[in-house]
Amino acid sequence: MGFVVSPNAKSWIRVDANSHFPIQNLPFGVADLGEDSQVLVTRIGDFAVDILGLIEGGVLAEYGFDEAEGFSEIGKMNFVELRRGLYDLLREGNPKLRDNSKLKKEVMLPAEELRMLLPMEVPSFVDFYSGIHHASNVGKMFRPDMPALLPNYRYLPVGYNGRASSVVPSEVPIIRPKGQTKAADADVPTFGPTQELDFELELGFFLIEGNEFGESIPVAQAENYIGGLVLVNDWSARDVQRWEYQPLGPFLAKSFATSVSPWLVTLDALEPFRIDGQKQDPEPLPHLRRPRLNHFDIVLEVSLQTEKMTAPQIISQTNSKELYWSFAQQLAHQTSNGTPTEPGDLYASGTISGPEEGMFGSMLELAWRGSKPIVMNETGEERRFIEDGDTVRLTGYCVGKGYRIGFGTLENQVMPSL
């Protein structure tokens, strides 16, 4: 069973109404404290709470946590119980931590001062293509004489296995990649830095448990394996991709960097924001049919800031409800052939675009292959793709009555090729 915090619950820690991290959230992350010291933390308001410090301080023993465990070693039920114990310590009226000034000083860390790492170590990475409006837009651009969606799109979650070694946290600089490109009027390709660097607005999920070799995960049970969701920016080199992707798909154009937000937001925290999602027509085959509400109403935004700007500019606003295939369906499809999975495996949703301009999840769409450049209001600069020095910032949140459940931000600055 999960653990959903009441929308009326309050903490003894002051939390702003617009904060992404009220007591109803309590996400998990990993903070780097220096000198090879990494600790599992939760987030409430402006503070990260050191969970190892709480365990060593003895205040989580009644929930079964009397010794430190690594994130990937915490099973699903212990994961739920850990969050329940954190809620109890932080809820309004509980003096156990509130009145322990020594322990409170040790474990309550200013979140903005921390260097956050990936929420989990990533043994494998899979990228899906489940944003139907993005897939349609790409089809219209590159296959104008054919249907926008290929015949398999509505029957299975299209995806590919990517590189786990280039998954990086927020605030890590993205080095402009090099690759082969071929101009339309050229006889041979050239090698050099991409001229069409792009972001991709995505959500991702981490596994907290895996399946055995040869076993499948039924769609009705898939969410039991998911630890939580994160923001994902799956960077792309569009000109490299255009030349290399046929006939086998993404390679160098996608493998150079995928960035992930630091806070793993649990499905329990997102429970009040479940929705049915888009109607799937035709109905999926039986092994992929949705047994329950397994999409979420998450507001998503992209901002861009050039080196000349003093503040970021929002360039896209959309919602996770625009995904055609749910996270449960994605995982069920991945394992339907018996593929084994592991704790820490990362799955990205694919670019999430809405049906209208201003709701697109990539520069490829927002500037429509460069034909409609985005104007930065503060400086008058134009952007067709991402340039060196630009910072891309993603954020996402659910809106409740008097509170938000959010992911914080994911931001990375682009640096010149080496």
Residues of the chain with pLDDT > 70: what percent? 97
pLDDT digits (tens, 9 = 90+) for 113-154: 999 999 999 999 999 999 999 999 999 998 999 999 999 999
Average pLDDT value for residue range 267-289: 96
Q: Based on the number of CB atoms within 10 Å of its own CB, is 184 exposed (0-12), middle (13-18) or buried (19 or more)?
A: exposed
Q: Read off the tokens for 109.
A: 């860390």
The whole-number average pLDDT for the span 259-280 is: 97
Annotate 133-162 with b (16+ C-beta within 10 A) or e (fewer). bbbbbbbeeeeeeeebbeeebeeebbbeeb
Position 392 confidence tier, pLDDT thresholds 50, 70, 90: very high
Catalytic amino acids? 134
Within 13 Å of residue 276, how many CA atoms lie on the same side as its CB?
Answer: 3
Greater pLDDT, 1 or 19? 19
Which H or E run contains 67?
Answer: none
The length of the chain is 418
The C-alpha R_g of the chain, in whole angstroms, comes to 22
Give the tens place of pLDDT for each residue, 73-95.
Answer: 565 558 889 999 999 999 999 99
The number of beta carbons lying within 10 Å of the beta carbon of residue 186 is 9
Is residue 14 scored above 90 in pLDDT? Answer: yes
**pLDDT for the residue 71:** 58
> In this predicted structure, what is the pLDDT of residue 211?
96
Tokens representing residue 49 in the block = 């709470």
Q: pLDDT value at position 74?
A: 63
pLDDT given at position 291: 79
Do 108 and 195 touch, CB atoms closer than 8 A?
no
pLDDT score at 79: 80
- The fold of 28-116 is SH3 type barrels. (2.30.30)
Residue ranges, comma separated, of all CATH 3.90.850.10 domains in the chain are 125-415
CA distances from 32 to 7, 51, 62, 289, 354 (A): 31, 13, 27, 41, 36
Per residue in 156-193, pLDDT tens? 999 999 999 999 999 999 999 999 999 999 999 999 99
Please, where in the chain does CATH 2.30.30.230 lie? 28-116
Q: Provide the residue type at 187 as one letter.
A: D
What does the pLDDT look like over 398-417, one tens digit per residue? 999 999 999 999 999 999 99
Q: Give the pLDDT band of residue 292 (cuts 50, 70, 90).
A: confident
Give the N- to C-terminal CA distance of the chain in Å, as an integer: 50
- The dihedral built from the CA positions of residue 244, 247, 252 and 254, taken in this order, carries a sign that is positive
**Prediction pTM value:** 0.96
- Bond into 282 cis (ω within 30): yes
Nearby residues of 85 by Cβ (< 8 Å), 6 or more positions away: 60, 62, 63, 65
Average pLDDT of the residues of the chain:
95
Q: At 95, is the secondary structure helix, strand, or coil? A: helix
Domain covering 125-415 in this structure, CATH number: 3.90.850.10
Position 188 scores a pLDDT of 97
pLDDT value, residue 197: 98
pLDDT digits (tens, 9 = 90+) for 216-243: 999 999 999 999 999 999 999 999 999 9
Burial call 326-343: b when 16+ CB within 10 Å, e when fewer: bbbbbbbbbbbeebebeb
Which of 400, 394, 396, 395 shows the shortest CA–CA distance to 22? Answer: 400
